[in-house]
Structure 1
Amino acid sequence: MSQIPVRSAGGGGDPEAKRRKIRKGTHSCWECRRRKTRCQFASATASICVGCEARGTACRSQEFPDEQPPSAERGLSQRMSRVEGMLERIIERITPGPYISSRSGGQASASSASAEDDLEYSSPDILRPSAASHPHVIGMFDALREEGGSCPSARASFVPTPASTQSDTVPGLPAKFSQISKTLHATFPCQRDIDAIIEAAGFGPYFIVTYFSGVDGPLEDPSTVSDVPPSTSHPALLAKRLMQLTSCMQKISVDDIPRDLVSKEPIRFLMNRIVNVVSDLMAFNDDLVGSVEGLETLNLIALYHANAGNLRKSWLALRRALAVAQLMGVDRWPDDKPLKSVDPRSDPGTRTRAGPLWYRTNFTDRYLSLLLGLSAASDDDSFADPLRLAQSTPIERLEKLHTVITGAIIKRNMNTSRASPEAAFGTTQAIDCDLEMAAKTMSAEWWQPLLPIDASMATPRELVRIQSRVMMQMNHHHLLILLHLPYMMRDPKERRWDYSKTTCLHASRELLQVYLVFRDLTDAASACRHTDYGALTAAMTLLLGYLDPKLRARNAAIASRRDADREVVTKVRDVMKKIAERDGDKLAREASDIITRLLPLADVDLTISGHGENDAPVRLEIPYLGTININPVRRQPQHKFRQDGSGIMPSLASHDNSGEGDDFERLEVYPTTNVYQTPDTTENMSIDLQQFPQTQPSFLSQLGEDANFSFMQFEPDISSPYQFPELAADVDQWTFQGFDATFFENLLS
């Protein structure tokens, strides 16, 4: 626009007015100059700038003399200008992104501002986020728009190299986020190491991109996992890529770690460092999580901690993910509209949908809550309504039903102390029917045990399908065990408990067989860690089931079943022990140790003869809770126990308690100290359990007083209330995170 006519509020001009000499390139009007705002035009032919049109003021080019209003009007105009300036400064502080007038329609027309007027901020009258801006404080509530809001000129080229610096990346990223993006970008390993890690992870990248939507849902290209966004990308996108890479690292066993990595940092330390950086800079920054990438990052952080054995940290991350998702309205958002993305190159067709993201987050939260004995975050089961189930694939349908059933078991457990025994048992039977109906949604062939396969001959898609099938079978059997566990140790003379006992034992056998198939597919310690918790639950349940006198008979059928059970449990124990020795995994080591301690229960000859070490087949120490002594052997009271290599075995307290069963007698109580502490003295500590009624007011204080538990007694750890671990202690400080205590509470409730 070479010539700008004299303009008025009504759009008229005065072609005869005397022109002034102005600096070349200056095209702004007097009013915009006085207000120190950018002078913009809606189109190249517009005669009045956007600001003057919105304000209703005269639009006069600086080519013509400024006609000041009368004194009174000028004073009012100046005061209004000061007020508008103050409003602009307030808006600058509370909204870090740039803003433009809504009348501009988001069009980036040629600016007519002069060089000295070229400021960062726009008219304060009618404001809306710039099309180039990224989510900030209010972005969490805008995150469900179909498109990211970026104009075509703001598209960033995507070069898979950490060192890439590009001028056409997304503009408008606030300065305080730019430094976060640079720090996250610097956290990536070099591209050579990334490529080596991805290759060693096998089908890991394919599993990661199917984590939210499943194999049959919209998927990113697995190759994008190795792509490093530019340093000017939004922090949520960089954080998501880092967590995807970390999840791939967790699927690599020690033997398969590439030996020629440029970085000499151990891969476990590298994973911890990445997760700590992402958590500190992005995950807990409310300004950065309001997008699909932000939610995916929170879920991937939870997945990392769950696989690392940090169940409580995982649970906390999931609670934050659910809170953010609810604020964004993910639970109400239709699946046919994609969530907002901060990735300019994101394809709406392959973007994670709201429905799968919502139920995946709820599924994981409920699973962890069930293991830890906590309540679920949300009771919303809308993802499993009949219409959505009808639109789901068979395996998605089963997973959604499992999510609903997991919530029902949690409610049953939470209400046990308030509901009558008959009501609780009725609820259990109803949930069992729901599990049976869920199982019937899959074919009988689908439930058949899988034979070991040659992973080198299968495609990544086939391997993910097989792994998903195996994990869903394990999850189904695990839910059956946890549902009926409270009724497994009831009085064997009452027939109404027989179904629960039979179900627990059958589901345990099936789960252990499937676990061996899963570990044949992947033997990395941190790959899908929940399978290890399921296997430990099944092994403990199966072995403790042999405390039932009917299962200790010497007839051929029962003896054959007992030998088969002992064989499969031993195989599972050996797999865990191998992982522990190879990867140095503490959780696998202690899980295999617990199974080893319980194995004598399946050896009738050993327990009946009483020829075990110290005549005590099982002594389980539950950190921060106490010790459970299990002994189905009928024997005369002893006088002394000597120290063994693992702890103090003090002298026997004299008791004269006899069980109701003909072949069982109570095992006396041995007080213990915390498993992580060494006592200051080795003096005898004969203490009667009746001295501690206040220590464990729940089920544990009554353990051993009921005839149903004539073979089991509990020694409370009176120091535990004062030496409880940190709220979110990691696996190195608290191996089972309270999972073991929850198991025995459910077993003996």
Structure 2
Amino acid sequence: MADHSSPGPSNLPPKRLRLGTKSCSECRRRKVRCVFKQGVMTCDGCLVHDVVCQPQKGAPRPTNSRETTAGNDRAPSAHDVTEMLQSHNVTVPIIRSTIADSVEFQSQTVPLSENRAPSEISADQGPPASNALHTSNNDVGDADPNNAPLPQLLQNHAFMTPLLSSNPRPTLSIHIPRPPLPTLATLKSLLSYSEKYWPIWPTIAFDVARLQQFILSQHEFNSHALTTDMNSHERLAIAKLYLWIALCLVHCPRRHIDSLTLPEIKKDLIARYTDYASMVLSINIDGNGGEEEVECLSILWKIAFDTGKPNRAWRYLRQGITRAIQLGYHRQDVHFDERKTAIWTALWQHERRISCMLGLPSCTSKEHAGTRLQDLPQNDATFAAHHRLSVIEGEIVKRDQTGAKNDYALTIQIDQDLESIRPLLPFLSAQSDLVTIYTAVGVKIRFHDTQKLLHVPCILREDISTLSRYSFDRVVDACREIIHTLTFLREVCDEYMCEVLDFQLFSAAMTLIIGILSHRRESTTSSSPSSIDETSDWNLVDSSLKCLRSTVERLDCSVAKQGADTLDAIIAVCHHRRLPDQQPSLENDSLVVTVPYFGCFRINFPDSSSSAFPQSTRQPHASSVEFSMVDPLPSALTSSAAWPYEDELVSDWFYQGRHNQPYDENYDFEWQFDV
């Protein structure tokens, strides 16, 4: 038998042992099974043949002429190249791949030299390659992480010398093209018009530039300060300026926009400014943005909220809260900074409000520092009302998120806490200034909307007559107050842009219509008293419709337009009239309207193939109308992938009806009325 230590006739090295090989050399030679009994170091075969039982050993692979020739043809390794360059004292540049045309890397050259003293090695460069560099006068023993076995092993077997430089991490410089700015004259006109809204915008209003504060009524100075601060090297400061211009554009009415010279159309310019700021924030996610980052997020959520994207605003608020907590804004007992306290208060209270509105979880609790009642920034009735409303909205969110909607006792308890805030509600007066009016309207709308959201789950998916009449009456009363308050706001400030306010007006009117139709049906079968007064309530619905139509004439509000079209159709059906001419064409003898964060409406018409369908008219009278008020969860409205839901409230409400998409997959129409 050939010796295992010498190559075979083919002059090739012996085969390497396979992983997991356990047989001994003798059993391997005899090609028999090697069996070991428990506790015995010699296999059964070697015991029978009385030979020494030895494990197999792989012979070392020899270096023959074939391998030597192949080795000469191979490409040099990185280790060989590094040694060659070091011997000639050549500097090696760090080579990076190009990610995109808009990404620019700063070149950096680092000498690969091992002749530096240990004191020249920066502490943030990591451990050196040689153990000799770890000697120190302080004997820390095993406490020194450099003495750990695994790092020592890696250091001893590293095949490349570490790069020694003052900055071990490559410097990454990402270039983001700036969007075009309006001309100086356009900026002056834009700032002068929007100036009246500055006091009711986020807290950062009057020093948005941080380098030079804006001054009221100084339009020339403000426009020059804005363009001058655009030369800053601070990206977050520049992003904040772009966001400030975007916010001014959002609230600029159509008549004023037509007189401005903008580099792009209004909608596209706002999108470019917000996208630029979002990119800067995403790059700076691990940086030291500080106050600038929080203030950018404070403007971003306001833009998203006013343009009909409450879910996006909710996400910006949560990011702002996280950053504010990291900066300690919630600890007003530590920083004693009124500005930081005001920014923190606005962030967590608006996040709580939108969480309650959309049925989403909140990221703060009533025990969280900065949200407790004793953390009120000042003893003002309006501030106290907002703070207590935020606490109650947190209780509603907790009830909805923990599945306690059926706990009616809990609902009544929250309702009693809510009623204790009513004496703090301000009085509305048309003679007051814009700031006072907006502040009063804000707290009243929030109070009544919270009241509606508290009791709406109690009237879903069941006939109202079988539910607590108290909850139904509370919802109807809240809707009346919302209509009164918002129509008053539009009378004194008809050019204030906020898609969410228009949505609240529409949803209040639609809920009131459902109450009217329910009362009409119950009055034929029951004589129980009701809080519905059809005459006055229909007048409120009509005033809501007129208010939405007036808003459409002055502002580019998608919610106001679609809400007015929907109300037009429902009012026509309830009054036994044909639909207005501007309504979309019918699909499958029905008109379907799907409203984000609210529900679905379906107006049914007689079958066109039946004799009941009048052939002489373009459109018949409706036969029935159905309503579905879903829980305020966005997920309930996103089952159809074909529906463009990413635009939230400003998406196409008639999309499913126009494209014959399934509308009743997630909707169990609770209310069905024959008309």
Read off the aligned partner of 1:198 and give its amino acid letter: L
Distance 1:197 1:563 in 2: 44
Counterpart of 1:440 (choices 415, 420, 423) is 423
1:197 aligns with 2:196: no
Q: SS where residue 333 of structure 2 aligns?
A: coil
Give the structure 1 partner of residue 501 of structure 2.
531
In structure 2, which of residues 119, 122, 133 is the aligned counterpart of residue 87 of structure 1?
122
Asked if the contact 1:484–1:500 (Cα under 8 Å) also holds between the matched residues in 2, the reply is yes
Aligned to 1:709: none
Aligned-partner SS, 2:122: helix
Q: Assess if the C-alpha contact under 8 Å between 1:366 and 1:407 holds in 2.
A: yes
Secondary structure at the residue paired with 1:331?
coil
Give the direction of change, closer, same or farther, for the CA distance of 1:82–1:522 in structure 2 (3 Å limit): farther
Q: Count residues with an aligned counterpart.
A: 482
Cα distance change on mapping 1:576 and 1:624 into 2, 3 Å: closer
1:243 and 1:300 in contact (8 A); partners too: yes
**SS of structure 2 residue aligned to 1:232:** coil
Q: Is the 8 A contact 2:199 2:205 kept in 1?
A: no
CA pair 358-584 structure 1, distance change in 2 beyond 3 A: closer
- For the residues of structure 2 that align with 1:736 and 1:375, how far apart are their CA atoms? 29
Q: State the alpha-carbon separation in 1 of the partners of residues 654 and 385 from structure 2.
A: 28
Kindly indicate whether the alpha-carbon contact (under 8 Å) linking 1:544 and 1:598 is maintained by their aligned counterparts in 2: no
**Which protein is bigger by CA-based radius of gyration?**
2
Partner of 1:713: none
Q: Which position in structure 1 is the counterpart of 2:317?
A: 318
| 1:379 aligned residue | 365
The alpha-carbon deviation at position 641 of structure 1 amounts to 7.9
SS at match of 1:507: helix
Aligned positions of 1:455-470 closer than 5 A = 462-470=433-441
Letter of the structure 2 residue corresponding to residue 239 of structure 1: A
- Amino acid aligned to 1:403: S
Normalised TM-score (structure 1): 0.54
Residue 723 of structure 1 pairs with residue 642 of structure 2: yes
Amino acid at match of 1:236: L
Task: Give me the whole-angstrom Cα distance separating, in 2, the residues matched to 1:189 and 1:393.
Answer: 40
Distance 1:85 1:648, change over 3 A: farther
For residues 640 and 290 of structure 1, do their structure 2 counterparts lie closer, same or farther at Cα, with a shift above 3 Å needed?
farther
Which residue number corresponds to residue 256 of structure 2? 256
1:143-222 residue pairs with structure 2 within 5 A? 176=173, 187-208=180-201, 210=203, 221-222=215-216
Are 1:587 and 2:559 matched, yes or no? yes
What residue number does 2:468 align with?
497
Report if aligned partners of 1:198, 1:205 keep a CA contact under 8 Å in 2: no
1:103 is matched with none
Displacement of 1:618 in angstroms is 7.9
| Alignment partners' CA distance in 2, 1:376 and 1:737 | 31
Distance, in Å, in 1 between the alignment partners of 2:297 and 2:288 is 8
User: Does residue 477 of structure 2 align to residue 506 of structure 1?
Assistant: yes
Identity percentage of aligned residues: 19
Deviation at 1:436, TM superposition (A): 1.0
Distance 2:199 2:222 in 1: 9
Q: CA deviation at 1:528?
A: 3.2
Flag the 1:626–1:81 CA change in 2: closer, same or farther, 3 A.
Answer: same
Structure 1 residues 8-407: aligned runs within 5 Å: 81-87=116-122, 90=125, 176=173, 187-208=180-201, 210=203, 221-222=215-216, 226=223, 227-228=225-226, 229-257=229-257, 259-261=259-261, 263-282=262-281, 285-288=284-287, 290-334=289-333, 336-338=335-337, 352-353=339-340, 355-380=341-366, 381-389=368-376, 391-407=378-394
Contact 2:203-2:339 at 8 Å conserved across structures: no
* Cα displacement (A) at 1:561: 3.1
- TM-superposed deviation, 1:467: 0.8
Task: Note closer, same or farther for the CA distance 1:430–1:737 as it changes in structure 2 (3 Å cut).
Answer: farther
SS in 2 for 1:334: helix
Structure 1 position 320, deviation (Å): 1.9
C-alpha separation in 1, matches of 2:502 and 2:204: 19
Residue 383 of structure 1 aligns to a residue in which SS?
coil
**What is the match of residue 25 of structure 2?**
none
**Cα deviation 1:352-411 (Å, max 9, x = unaligned):** 22x332232122223333333322222255434342238332211111112122222122
1:429 is aligned with what amino acid? Answer: I
Q: 1:84 to 1:518 in 2, by over 3 A?
A: farther
CA distance in 2, matches of 1:669, 1:735: 15
Structure 1 269/669 Cα, relative in aligned 2: closer, same or farther at 3 Å? closer
Displacement of 1:736 after TM fit?
11
- The answer to whether 1:571 aligns with 2:543 is yes
1:478 Cα shift?
0.9
Measure the CA separation in 2 of the matches of 1:735 and 1:668: 16
Mapped partners of 1:594, 1:310: distance in 2:
20
Structure 1 vs Structure 2 CA RMSD = 5.0
**Closer, same or farther: CA 175–593 of 1 in aligned 2, 3 Å:** same
Q: 2:493 aligned to 479, 497, 522, which one?
A: 522
* Contact kept in structure 1, 2:444 and 2:485, CA below 8 Å: yes
The verdict on how the C-alpha distance between 1:731 and 1:479 changes in structure 2, with shifts beyond 3 A counting, is: closer
Check 1:359–1:80 CA distance in 2 against 1; reply closer, same or farther (3 A cut): farther
Q: In the superposition, relative to structure 1, how do residues 260 and 315 fare at CA in structure 2: closer, same or farther (>3 Å)? A: closer
Query: Is the 1:375–1:410 contact (alpha carbons within 8 Å) kept by the matching residues of 2?
Result: yes
- Residue 452 (structure 1) shift: 3.8
3-state SS, counterpart of residue 330 of structure 1 = coil
Per-residue deviation at 1:648? 12
CA distance, structure 2, for counterparts of residue 322 and residue 124 of structure 1: 36
Report Cα offsets for 1:621-674 as digits up to 9, x if no partner.
Answer: 45799954478x9x99x9578699xx999xx9xxxxxxxxxxxx998999xxxx
The alpha-carbon deviation at position 310 of structure 1 amounts to 2.3
Rounded Cα–Cα distance in structure 1 between residues aligned with 2:120 and 2:653: 59
Within 1, Cα distance between the matches of 2:522 and 2:364? Answer: 44
Whichever residue aligns with residue 517 of structure 1, its letter is: F
Instruction: Give the equivalent residue in structure 2 for 1:413.
Output: 400
Equivalent residue, structure 2, for 1:132? none
In structure 2, how many angstroms separate the alpha carbons of the residues matched to 1:736 and 1:90? 60
Q: Offset of 1:230 from its aligned partner?
A: 4.8
Q: How does 1:703-722 map to 2 (within 5 A)?
A: 720-722=639-641
Identify which range, 560-569 or 514-523, moves more after superposition.
560-569
Partner Cα distance (2:451, 2:185) in 1? 46
Structure 1: how far apart are the matches of 2:373 and 2:553?
A: 48
Unaligned runs of 5+ in 1: 1-77, 92-122, 126-135, 138-173, 214-218, 339-350, 608-612, 653-664, 671-695, 701-715
Residues 243 and 400 from structure 1, CA distance in 2 versus in 1: closer, same or farther, beyond 3 angstroms? same
Change (3 A) 1:386 1:377: closer
User: Which string of whole-angstrom CA distances, capped at 9 and with x for unpartnered residues, describes residues 220-256 of structure 1?
Assistant: 7556964321523422222222222222222221012
Which amino acid letter does the alignment assign opposite residue 241 of structure 1? L
SS at match of 1:440: helix
Equivalences for residues 550-561 of structure 1 within 5 A: 553=523, 561=533
**For the residues of structure 1 that align with 2:459 and 2:627, how far apart are their CA atoms?**
23
Q: Which amino acid aligns with 1:507?
A: A
Cα deviation digits, residues 515-545 of structure 1 (max 9, x gap): 01111233346x2333222212211111111
- How many angstroms apart in 2 are the aligned matches of 1:623 and 1:640? 36
TM-score by length of 2: 0.60
Q: Distance in 2 between matches of 1:581 and 1:278?
A: 31
2:13 matched residue in structure 1: none
CA shift for structure 1 position 211: 7.0
What CA distance in whole angstroms lies between the structure 2 residues aligned with 1:575 and 1:599? 15
Q: CA deviation at 1:301?
A: 0.8
The Cα of 1:581 is off from its aligned counterpart by 4.5
Deviation for aligned residue 1:747: 8.4
